[in-house]
Chains A and B, each alone.
Chain A
């Protein structure tokens, strides 16, 4: 009972941790931004805007309910898995050691750089590396069938709420944890190697200043039905909520677009950028005729595993038949 209590509290703490997307402060600013957007651009009054933002049909939809359940269950599952994973400290230490083996690299080469400059550089570097690594991993999640089988859980949401961020398969969670560990380790080890012991990160309420800015500026609206878009030129640099909502659309032309988290630059560079569109209602999910069962817990947790198994069996069969046909050809040649 104590453990359950502890895990429940852990989940609740997420709402009070400024490092987390669903920190109540960020939810509040997202609500204000959404309300202002609706009042100014959709010409509705304040109370109508609040009604629209907290639309019961969305927040009590089957899709949203399964998001809430996954949030709690994954918390328990990840608390068991995470201690088994390699930590950013172990990787950072290994990289830090490894950097010493290059005679042409001088550790502490920039030790005398002013502290504020080191902190600025580190904060920017880490934010950019994090955002880029998230983009790349996300791209792979869509492009590789085995990974797509896992990532489909997230895309099976037919309604978006800020809690959809937690609609994630635990195995995908493992990938994300390792990604985070590696990127943090790279930033930390490289900077400490070159800049010495003054390396630090600029934070607000403990969160990276850029992540804080991104979240306070309404990042929660990415997973919502409030389709805030930016000026076109801004959408080349920063991803608007509407651009990410489009990433969740069932329409063919929106598939594999807008993989980025904060920066749109990566999508622009890799040719997957799609600007927001004036569509009154996007259909969200995996396909138009998505079944209700896709929101069941069994389906969310076990369908990806089944699919991975099928893909693997199919691959093995294909490999066997390829080897067989090659054998026939080589026998034929010998004759």
Chain B
């Protein structure tokens, strides 16, 4: 006998399957038909973003390796390799079976270094470009040999991963594909993206941006919780859309910022994941509807509106992350101070603090890899976070020497640093209007203010 819930689920699955049209169900990113004029090949689906998925996998694998101290291996995933490298992450875990085990099963010849932010990264010492910062971090991680370096407070896997997501995926999508490549003469829709391609210029530009976003093609059919659990590898049923028993990284997995969007949407206060993913689907439909002709200015305007929705919400997802980890760092310092006062062992709490700081720093640097210069906001953010976390002896990394080694100096102390964390949270609210506000250190104050309710009445007691 089937339970009521199972019956409901079965009905839902059958209903969805039976009503799926041949191309696109309105809630999935593809498949979309071939619209390229004069195409005579046998392809039927014009969607293609395997290069982006390969980079997501390189990023996940690099993060996993960042604590190993193996420089050559790390570089193989960062700069690419002629060998067919194995996928270190995401790899099968228990019942959650991943279809691909080798990078070339997704796409070959890809790297992260060539697609990293080309501007100067002001929040990291040395006046380096995005690619150089990542390389510097990877070299330091290898030198140190493990994930966390108590001498600097750096957690390399977190720093590398969180910054790379911004420097590569976010930057490439919003500052390249959804920016100049949306121009009328750049990768036009009435020509193939490149010679021999089965998709048009604009189709592929849009697909590549979507690929960097990292959402699974069928993810709009799922809840935020399900999308979150796919990345956590806890919900095989939600991930395996075609029911073949394995999760295809090319279309059935949620990567990078899409995963963070789902994590905030779970709170019910935001809807970043669906907003961005739906905008991508809607944009792709507009391009498909142009049927291989050059886009009209009206169509481009529609795409620009969707591009803005994508860019703004993607930026908010990163700002929410900065907000969240500034709160974590504040709480971690509270804990550290309590332990220090009782002369306890700080090892574990200090490592946790370093991990959260790495996430904060990485996301803060990522936030500055968008389309526009954040100006004063970036300056405030970089100054308040500093080049390193405040260490137990109250020192802090303040720069690098000519050999690339970190220089430390006296910091302004714990309480000042905690105040910086509060101000960073406020900055994220003021500038980016974040709503999920995880780890809000002022939540108690606003809750109490609301509860006491002011005394806004003309009353003479």
- Residues of A whose CB lies within 8 Å of any CB of B are 19-21, 74, 77-78, 82, 85, 87-89, 92-93, 96-97, 100-103, 105-108, 111-112, 126, 134, 138, 151, 154, 164-170, 172-173, 176-177, 179-181, 184-185, 188-189, 192, 196-197, 199-201, 203, 206, 208, 222, 261
Contacts and interface: CB of A to CB of B under 8 A. Distances in A.
Contacts of B446: 89
Contact of A88 (B423, B452, B461): B452
Contacts of A199: 444, 448
B448 A188 contact: yes
B459 interface: yes
B419 A176 contact: no
Question: 10 closest A-B pairs (Cβ-Cβ)?
Answer: A173-B458, A180-B455, A100-B419, A168-B458, A108-B334, A89-B449, A261-B461, A154-B460, A82-B456, A74-B458
A92 to B, nearest CB: 5
Contact of B457 (A108, A112, A173, A261): A173
B249 interface: no
B338 A108 contact: yes
B229 to A, nearest CB: 28
B461 A92 contact: no
22 contacts: A77-B458, A82-B456, A88-B449, A88-B452, A92-B448, A93-B445, A97-B422, A101-B416, A106-B415, A108-B334, A134-B461, A138-B461, A151-B460, A164-B460, A165-B460, A165-B461, A168-B459, A177-B455, A179-B455, A192-B444, A222-B461, A261-B461
Contacts of A154: 460
A234 B207 CA distance: 79
Contacts of B423: 97
A176 B455 contact: yes
A112 B338 contact: yes
Contact of B458 (A92, A96, A103, A176): A176
Contacts of A92: 445, 448-449
Interface in B416-461: 416, 418-419, 422-423, 426, 442-446, 448-449, 451-461
Contact of A78 (B337, B444, B448, B456): B456
B458 A184 contact: no
Contact of A102 (B415, B449, B452): B415
A88 B415 CA distance: 23
Contact of A100 (B422, B449, B451): B422
Interface of B: 334, 337-338, 341, 413, 415-416, 418-419, 422-423, 426, 442-446, 448-449, 451-461
A103 B448 contact: no
Given A97-B419, A101-B415, A176 B457 contact: yes
A21 B449 contact: no
Contacts of B452: 88, 126, 184, 188, 201, 208
B454 A93 contact: no
Nearest to A184: B452
Contacts of A206: 451
Given A108-B334, A111-B338, A177-B455, A96 B445 contact: yes
A103 B444 CA distance: 23
B418 A107 contact: yes
B449 A87 contact: yes
Given A87-B454, A165-B461, A168-B458, 5 more contacts: A89-B446, A103-B416, A107-B334, A184-B455, A188-B448
B349 to A, nearest CB: 13
Nearest to A95: B445
B460 A172 contact: yes
